[in-house]
Amino acid sequence: MPPLTFRVVLVEPIYSGNVGSVARAMKNFGFSELVLLNPCVLDNPARVMAVHAYDIIENARIEFSLEDALAGSNTIIGTTGLAGKTDNEHMRIPALSPRKLREKLTGKSGVVSLLFGREDDGLKNEELELCDIIVNIPASRDYPSMNLSHAVAVILYELSDICGGEIYLADHFDIELLYEHIEEMLSDIEYKEHKKGKTLLMLKRILGRAELTGREVQTLRGILRRIQWKLNRTREL
């Protein structure tokens, strides 16, 4: 059974010094896999701030699409400084604290991608919608926005001695196929078009928090196929 492993994914980091500080925080808490999506130039400030963790930057995987950055993930965790809120008020996103995230992942195995957004603007709504679980650090309401490396450090501290287990999380690719299947089903039952997007997002949040295994995903898809078969038989009569 694969172990529970974590990768830190920085989306379009603006300041190389922050990348260095993230690498240092990762090494402080025993993490090593870093993915950089469209990063800034990794110049001297990255080396200076990383100190003895510059090897993490040297070994970092650089990608130019979010799909490639997240490839191979079982679960995608998005981070936000604004819990339960997006630009679209109809698409509120419930968030877990880092400690609650630790509780949910204890006993699991697979690859978990921790997605951190831009220093000035965080993750975009469409990026958050790709995530299975959203995490928010419960900081002061007077100033909830945290430095990128500080946010990484808080979350990695909570996960640093987590105990994995034998419950293998479904591959995120298979989960996406399940979501596509659900969308097909909504069309099959003539679900109201203007409600489809919101409903699908809600179902994604519910299923994301359920930490589905591969077998559970296939069982759900089997049920959907059976319903579709029954609908088609009924229409033929």
What is the b/e burial string over 33-65, where b = at least 16 CB atoms within 10 angstroms of the residue's CB?
bbbbbebbebeebbbebbeebbebbeebeebee
Domain spans, the chain: 4-168, 172-236
Q: If you average pLDDT over residues 187-192, what whole number do you get? A: 92
Q: What is the pLDDT of residue 111?
A: 96
Q: What is the pLDDT of residue 83?
A: 59
For 116-145, the pLDDT digits (tens) are 999 999 999 899 988 989 999 999 888 888
Lowest mean pLDDT among 33-47, 49-63, 92-106, 148-162: 92-106
**Region 172-236: CATH code:** 1.10.8
Q: What is the pLDDT of residue 205?
A: 83
Asked if residue 84 has pLDDT above 60, the reply is: no
Query: In this structure, are residues 36 and 10 in contact, taking their beta carbons and an 8 Å threshold?
Result: yes
Query: In this structure, are residues 175 and 212 in contact, taking their beta carbons and an 8 Å threshold?
Result: yes
Q: What's the sign of the alpha-carbon dihedral 52, 56, 59, 61?
A: negative
Confidence of residue 45 (pLDDT cuts 50, 70, 90): very high
For the entire predicted model, the pTM comes to: 0.87
Domain 4-168, what architecture? 3-Layer(aba) Sandwich (3.40)
Q: Whole-angstrom Cα distance, residue 89 to residue 78?
A: 18
- How many C-beta atoms surround the C-beta of residue 71 within 10 A? 15
> Packing angle between helix 148-159 and helix 16-28, nearest 10 degrees?
20
